[in-house]
Amino acid sequence: MLAFAAFAAARRGPRSPLAPILLPLPEPTASPVASSPLAAHEPGRGERSGADQVLHLGLQSPRGVLDLGALPAGHGAPGLTLWPPAPLWPSSRGGRLLIEHGLLAPSSSYRLDLAWADGTSWTTRFDTAPLPELLARGPAAERVDPASPVWFRFGAEVNPASVEAAFRMEPPVSGSFRWDSPTAGRFLPSRHLSYGTLYRVTLGGQTRDGAPLLEASWSFRPLIPPPARVAPGEGAPAVFTFDDGTNDMPQAWELLDLLRKHEVKAILFPTGRWARAHPDFIERALQDGHRLCNHSDTHARLPLLPDEPLRREILRGAGHGSCDLLRPPSMALSKRVEQAAAALGYRIFLWDVDSRDWEGLYAEDIINRVLARMRPGAVLLFHMHGAHTLEALPRLFQRLRAEGYSLTHEGADRIPGLPGEASEAPRDRDTAPDGP
């Protein structure tokens, strides 16, 4: 009982000559102290405080540190148990017991039990304040149903009008809000979200009392369903093309290994600079029967270049002198670029189907997207650096062969025009007018 009284006195004001000796604790460790219900302790030597001796800390933040003040002399470091459980990181600063904790439930009551080896125990109770931030949100999965609502739950009661006014979704989506409680609501799109599009949601606003909510953002992508039917190939080619290059050379070599294993003849469009840096890769690709064609020297935006730099970008592209196909980076085209390319002996070569692997689509979505857009003689756009390209290719090769396509560039002399859908072009497509 005396130990608890001394502890409480130390928290109330300046230390008196009779204050307990402050006992330092070990420095914080990398791992938190696990919380579990208080275990029974056998009484030992020393005084044991009664269970009804409770220190009330008052209102605490759900994030942060509990300051329990000075410790009594002669008891050593206590064991800690928080209920409901949460991770704890105890430390000592200036002889005061400080307990850093993980995120606690807002607007909740907690009990902290301290137990010493000699049988002494204290109980501390406190409440947590509301937390003006987002606690949960969705959709959170990597691939979600296009009909999924956007939902959210805050740690404090909010002003619904302020949250709705601060709500942003990119690309923009029309819809309405429904509030399930003062802390939780949903945004219901007026129609299904676009398959495979990466959406970013941003939430903010104010609490019911006018305090600002911490702004939060997250992204998700609706899945692309498998097509009901794939157009039969009837022996026509499906032309696989791969752009750019990659800093991940093991991935680049694995691409050549996959193409060789599945007997696929592709057209490669690396930049000239990348091709010169990796002559062993280029030699292997040509030996395997792939075509090496021009994608500019440095992946520059060709319509923005003056005449002479434009000529250099084309002349220093990969495959110059052996392939007359030029694929402008990001599909950035103008009449001046077309004229410059033609004067140097090149034909503009775009694509029919963009796999959108450049956007980070997952393998299943890449496969479903390509299959839904296939037609005989189609030119398919992929990238050497696509995050999930190598995962998608084997299954795509197998399915296209089963549908009657030959996977080769040989005999594919058709030059594709502009893709039929705006979504087939990378989002940074250049629309600059003619001129430098």
- Whether the per-residue pLDDT at 17 is higher than 50: the answer is no
- Strand, coil or helix: 242: strand
Cα→Cα distances 169→67, 221, 345, 365, Å: 41, 12, 46, 22
pLDDT for 54 equals 61
Least confident of 16-20, 79-83, 293-297: 16-20
pLDDT of residue 300: 94
The mean pLDDT value of the chain amounts to 81
> Does CATH number 3.30.300.20 belong to domain 239-424?
no
Residue 368 predicted with pLDDT over 90 = yes
User: Which pLDDT score is estimated for 183?
Assistant: 93
Residue with tokens 């005061």: 96
pLDDT tens for residues 321-336? 889 999 999 889 999 9
131-220 carries CATH number 2.60.40.3710: yes
Rg (CA), the chain: 33
- Measured CA to CA, the distance from residue 303 to residue 301 in angstroms comes to 6
- Given this model, what pLDDT does residue 161 score? 96
pLDDT band at 359 (very low <50, low <70, confident <90, very high): confident
User: Rounded to whole angstroms, how far apart are CA atoms 337 and 348?
Assistant: 9
Lowest mean pLDDT among 34-38, 115-119, 319-323: 34-38
For residue 122, which amino acid is it?
W
The two three-digit tokens of residue 267, written as one number: 């057209």
Question: 329, exposed or middle or buried, with CB in 10 Å at 0-12, 13-18, 19+?
Answer: buried
Label residue 33 by pLDDT band (50, 70, 90): low
Q: Would 131-220 and 239-424 be classified into the same CATH topology?
A: no
**Res 28 pLDDT > 50:** no
Range 304-322 average pLDDT:
93
Residue type at position 348: I
List the chain domain ranges: 2-128, 131-220, 239-424
Strand pairing category for 216-220 and 199-203? antiparallel
What is the predicted pLDDT for the residue at 6?
A: 40
Amino acid at 168: R
The pLDDT assigned to 3 comes to: 41
365's CB contacts (< 8 A; 6+ apart) are: 143, 195, 196, 221, 223, 224
DSSP state of 329: G
Query: Residue 191 burial (CB < 10 Å; 0-12/13-18/19+)?
Result: exposed
Each residue's pLDDT tens digit, 212-268? 888 889 998 888 889 999 999 999 999 999 999 999 999 999 999 999 999 999 999
- Structure confidence at residue 75 as a pLDDT band (50, 70, 90): low
Per-residue pLDDT, 32: 54
36 pLDDT band, cuts 50/70/90, is: very low
pTM: 0.62
Amino acid 92: pLDDT: 77
Q: What is the pLDDT of residue 71?
A: 64
